[in-house]
Amino acid sequence: MIGQTDLFNYPLILAERVARAVLHRIDPEQARDLALIALRARLTPRRAAPTSDRLRTTVAGINLLNPVGLAAGFDKNAIAIAPLLKSGFGFIEVGTVTPHAQSGNPKPRLFRLAEDRAAINRFGFSNDGAAVIARRLAARPATGVVGLNIGPNRDSRDRVADFTDLLKTCGAKVNFVTVNVSSPNTEKLRDLQGAESLARLLDSVLTARDGLGDKRPGIFLKVSPDLTDADIRNIAAVARNARIDAVIATNTTLRRDGLSSRHATEAGGLSGAPLRTTATRILAKFYGELKGDVPLIGVGGIATAQDALDRIRAGAQAIQIYTALIYDGITGAVRIAEKLDSLLAKEGFQNVSEAVGNRP
């Protein structure tokens, strides 16, 4: 049965299906850019974020109408914040932004792996730079939860300074800032996940955050799926000691196990369905180490409400999606949130928090 809001949106829902088929026939990066244009032109279905007593949750002191978020990477330059906040997400994350604008890696740098319901990207933090994006963030709607993913410039001589400069420039304009030390597309960036380097980085970032006074954002850390158990123990200890606000598990992977697509050998980070099992395992291991001391956000291969519930039961207090939207459209956020509400009720959970870490 189609509700009132769905009836209003039905022509746009049909148009989205047709548009998705057309977009899949053109270059993936061009398709993403056209999708952003469509969002800004209000040519996509608009929906308030689905919510209920079961779906409402809190992550690091941030109240969410539902736990389904948009991962960084789609709206890299913060140009579609307002329409994305009207697309059913409980929260969104934009970026990655670097202190100075950079063009990123040569094109093509985004590949659809349709047979695998996956994508490979090697953008290399292409973005308009902190000054431009800070102005866009300042003009965002007053309501809605927005995070910003930050990283260093490729040619930076002081990557720690890049992160702290970004906090000073953009931090007061968002609800949370994600420290990205896990992208595989910036040379030696993942070296910052080492315990000593990470501790120094987070200390500097938190000091810069504290300088923002009452406009301090939450500080989240995004980690790689390509971690050993020892890596996880070390990162978890640093995260706990630093008292950061959340860990996002995980970024894209360099692994290529079991892929069917002709693009499987392309360089870059793999996202989507093939990452599901690994990302869930890494998140569960972080939950085992952190024991609730630091909230977790699950991302990587989530495409259905069952995927979302599985990630919550593995320890996530919220989840993020991105690659699934390539195959299911922007309305995927609404479908996941609404079905998640039903699944939580079916499993006997009164709210998201009751399900966190409650594995069957």
Mean residue pLDDT of the chain comes to 93
Choosing from 126, 183, 224, 261, which is the catalytic residue? 183
Strands 91-97 vs 246-249: parallel, antiparallel or unpaired: unpaired
Q: Which pLDDT tens digit goes with each residue over 314-346?
A: 999 999 999 999 998 888 999 999 999 999 999
**32-88: per-residue pLDDT in tens?**
999 999 899 887 778 889 999 999 999 999 999 999 999 999 999 999 999 999 999
Helical H runs in 243-304? 276-290
Mean pLDDT calculated for residue range 151-155: 95
Report how many helices (DSSP H) and strands (DSSP E) the chain contains, helices first.
Answer: 12, 13
- Alpha-carbon distance of 245 to 337, in angstroms, equals 24
The CATH number assigned to the domain with range 4-355 reads 3.20.20.70
How far apart CA 134 and CA 9 sit, in angstroms, is 32
Residue 13 has pLDDT above 80, yes or no: no
Least confident of 2-11, 13-22, 125-134, 140-149: 2-11
Residue 10 has a pLDDT of: 54
Determine the pLDDT at residue 127.
Answer: 98
Looking only at the bridges linking them, the beta strands covering 118-121 and 110-113 are: antiparallel
Among this protein's residues, is 183 annotated catalytic?
yes
Q: What CA–CA distance (Å, rounded) separates 340 from 345?
A: 9
Q: Cite the DSSP H helix spans in 24-127.
A: 28-40, 81-84
Cα 356–chain centre separation: 19
Q: What pTM does this model have?
A: 0.94
**Per-residue b or e along 127-144, where b marks 16 or more CB atoms closer than 10 Å to that residue's CB:** bbbbeebbebbeebeeeb
Q: Which of 163, 234, 231 is nearest to 203 (CA)?
A: 163
Mean pLDDT (whole number) for 159-168: 97
> How many Cβ atoms are within 10 Å of 4's Cβ, its own excluded?
7
pLDDT band of residue 15 (cuts 50, 70, 90) is low
- pLDDT computed for residue 2 by the predictor: 33
Phi, psi for residue 343 in degrees, rounded to 5: -65, -40
